[in-house]
Amino acid sequence: MGEEKKTPFIPDFFIQDSSTFVPEWLKSVKPASAGTAGGSGARGFARPSVPQSGGKALLLKGGHCVIPHQGIFPVDVKIQGTKIESLGENLSDPQALTVEVRGKVVIPGVIDPHVHLGIFADFDAELVTETRSAVLNGVSTLGLYLGGQESYLDKLDDIIAKIEKKSLCDIFIHLVILNRSQLEEVPVYYSRYGITSFKTYMCGIPGLISEVEDDFLLDLMEKVSSLGPDAILNIHAENYRIVRRATERMKKAHPLSESLTEWERSHPAFAEAEAIRRAAFLSKETGARIYFVHVSSEKGIESARDLKQKSKDLFFETTSPYLTLDLEQDPDLLYKMVPPIRSRKDQKALWEGLADDTLDTIGSDHSPMSSAQKKTSVNLWDVPPGYPAVGTHLPSLLDRAAANGFPLARLVEKMCASPAKIFGLYPAKGTLLPGSDADLVIVDPSLRKEATPQSASSRSDYCLHQGKTLKGWPVAIIKSGQWLTPGNLDRVRGSFRAKYLRRV
Ligand SMILES: [Zn+2]
């Protein structure tokens, strides 16, 4: 076999779509070579207890691997079956399929702990299209929110079966708890389905989700806390009375608005800051672990920073849109969201919150919509909140982190290891250590490419950052040891099984 011979690991899309995806390095993918010095290397992380699968190993050679909390190492990765078998210098295996990844960075598959499916379109359809958007852009595990007012008991078997049949990402579930009967069933959701994270809303979304009062919040905290130390309550923290007051004022002053500035003012940052403090205060009475979703503002971060110093049981998430979009640059109604996109100053505070570990994780809050669904009206107040975000999650953050001088290794901690630890998935997920699931992303940190709906690959006909050139893109994805590309997704789907992730 000559050097130019194609191996099965040359992704079709790199060849077919040369205008967008072709990195030069993949054209020089080499067949397995026995020429390099063997063993797992003096600085290896090999752990011989990894079970061997019958299939051929895959060897990624010459890249730089980001091992969260340890650093960036110039080591090779050997994948056997669905697991990472070893890391080390100069790994070799004559039987393995070897791929040269010199000049690239290998990171663990990204965990997006915050996505919604099936809100504005059919759940089954979005399970296909949105996990495609995720996996092709480096996100291999999703934390999926399921909501509604009814019991989940007669639905979960069906939903889990669909996940295992149709999804391309592994999925864990957060259940939204809004009423007494759901609250009473929390221990059953935990023991029967291995669900350890629940969510409630201190501020609802009119027409979609109702909010709960403090007495219910306390009861839910008690219930979640009683499950054990792995259980956690996720909270949408905004003071709904402050939001309602501000919204009424804004609507009165601007009954017809096309500006996201008015939207931002209708959800004032101090409503977020107050609710975070109140929920943290209540949680002390119950011992519950609390995870605050999508912190969006400087005032929210100030609350979080104070509280975090006093408690090990409080965790804070922000989202990639809040870290990369701002009102000044991105005023389009397509970006309407709850909480709102805010100012540059707020965004700067969020990056500082990541840097000093006030913020633990980054989600996307992906809630896919088409531009037609979004623009049913030109009036701000009638436009529904939500946007597709998982397909631009990693590239937008790679771009902005580099621009802000935020270290890649730290970004990977926040995007991979930290959500895995908080939600009980570590070390199977969130790292590249031997024994972990073989979910990896090969990143080209210097590739510049325009964000388009095609690159995002969602059902949506628009994407965040559309038309902007972002620097730093995933160029190849390995999910459960399987090389995934736009060209092979349909072929692989039959033989490839994503997992529903039970956590107890
Ligand atoms: Zn959400």
**CA of 148 relative to ligand 1 center, distance in Å:** 13
Dist CA 14 CA 23 (whole Å): 7
**CA of 237 relative to ligand 1 center, distance in Å:** 11
pLDDT 10s digits, 142-151: 999 999 999 9
**CA of 116 relative to ligand 1 center, distance in Å:** 6
Q: How far is CA 221 from CA 86, 177, 234, 367, in A?
A: 41, 11, 10, 26
Strands (E), 168-313: 170-176, 197-201, 232-236, 290-292
Query: Residue 216 above 70 pLDDT?
Result: yes
Alpha helical stretches, state H, 117-234: 123-136, 156-166, 180-193, 214-227
For residue 55, the model assigns a pLDDT of: 72
**CA of 251 relative to ligand 1 center, distance in Å:** 24
Dist CA 345 CA 349 (whole Å): 6
Phi/psi at 192 (nearest 5 deg)? -80, -35
For residue 136, the model assigns a pLDDT of: 96
**CA of 37 relative to ligand 1 center, distance in Å:** 49
DSSP state of 153: T
pLDDT 10s digits, 342-352: 999 999 999 99
For the ranges 24-38, 314-328, 412-426, 460-474, the lowest mean pLDDT is seen at 24-38
For residue 22, the model assigns a pLDDT of: 27
pLDDT mean over 355-373: 97
**CA of 80 relative to ligand 1 center, distance in Å:** 36
Strand 197-201, strand 232-236: pairing: parallel
Query: Are the C-beta atoms of 73 and 65 separated by less than 8 Å?
Result: yes
Query: Residue 39 above 60 pLDDT?
Result: no
Q: What is the pTM of this model?
A: 0.90
Confidence at 251, pLDDT banded by 50, 70, 90: very high
Q: Prior bond to 395 cis, omega within 30?
A: no
Query: Residue 220 above 70 pLDDT?
Result: yes
**CA of 492 relative to ligand 1 center, distance in Å:** 30
Query: Residue 337 above 60 pLDDT?
Result: yes
Confidence at 10, pLDDT banded by 50, 70, 90: very low
**CA of 115 relative to ligand 1 center, distance in Å:** 6
